[in-house]
Amino acid sequence: MTTRVPATRITGPYGALVKVFAGRMFGRVPESLGVMWHHVPALKASMAYGQKLQKWHACEEQLKSFAHMAVASSIGCTWCLDFNYFQASNRGLDMDKAREVPRWRTSTAFSPLEREVMAYAEAMSQTPPAVTDEMVAGLLDRLGPPALLELTAVIGFANLTTRGNVALGIESEGFAAACGLKPLAQRPAGVASEA
């Protein structure tokens, strides 16, 4: 991986803890951590918010995972797509569906609700956002206010991380491949989001 900001050495007591945690989780320390290590408070803030999101359970885990992956696919963040596929495996989610997220519009694997969630994720990810009243009303009716708000927060966080990674040139580090997961489906050429 050639990042736009070169990785730096991860040091200090917190760095030692991060290395141990990363080693247990991934088998190695991802290069992207070295990039983010240039500004440890920003790294900590992002990690802390991501960890808080994982503790919320108003919205079904699989829907949140597919939404994050749809954002990553839409924005073009191979790191987030790979990492979330890896995480879906660790959480026992439907891996046949997870690997199809990049081509969710043409795949027959997804339920109508899953499709609505991924369309919402892509619509939130456009500039300007392309979310419609009908989109929100349908999800509000099917999920309820707490789950819809949680889903929206997850999609907002996904946009923060995916856009930041793309801007910094942080790309896939092969988390899914290292675990022997089937490759992710490729987004069909020329298929833009249709939100």
pLDDT in tens, 61-116: 999 999 999 999 999 999 999 999 999 998 999 999 999 999 999 999 999 999 99
Predicted pLDDT at 189:
76
Higher pLDDT, 1 or 169: 169
User: Is residue 195 scored above 50 in pLDDT?
Assistant: no
pLDDT tens profile 48-62? 999 999 999 999 999
Enumerate the H helices of the chain as residue ranges.
12-26, 31-36, 40-54, 61-75, 78-90, 95-98, 112-125, 133-143, 145-168, 175-178
Tokens of 147: 């789950």
pLDDT digits (tens, 9 = 90+) for 106-152: 999 999 999 999 999 999 999 999 999 999 999 999 999 999 999 99
Query: How high is the pLDDT of residue 183?
Result: 86
DSSP states along 70-108: HHHHHHT-HHHHHHHHHHHHHTT--HHHHTTGGGTTT-S
Q: Could you tell me which residue, 179 or 31, shows the higher pLDDT?
A: 31
Contacts of 30-33 with CB under 8 Å at 24 or more apart are 30/173, 30/175, 31/1, 31/3, 31/7, 31/173, 32/1, 32/3, 32/7, 32/79, 32/165, 32/170, 32/173, 33/7
Flag whether pLDDT at 26 surpasses 90: no
Least reliable range by pLDDT among 93-97, 116-120, 167-171, 178-182: 178-182
Query: Where residue 193 falls among pLDDT bands split at 50, 70, 90?
Result: low
Those residues with Cβ within 8 angstroms of residue 25's Cβ, 6 or more apart along the chain or in another chain: none
pLDDT at 191: 59
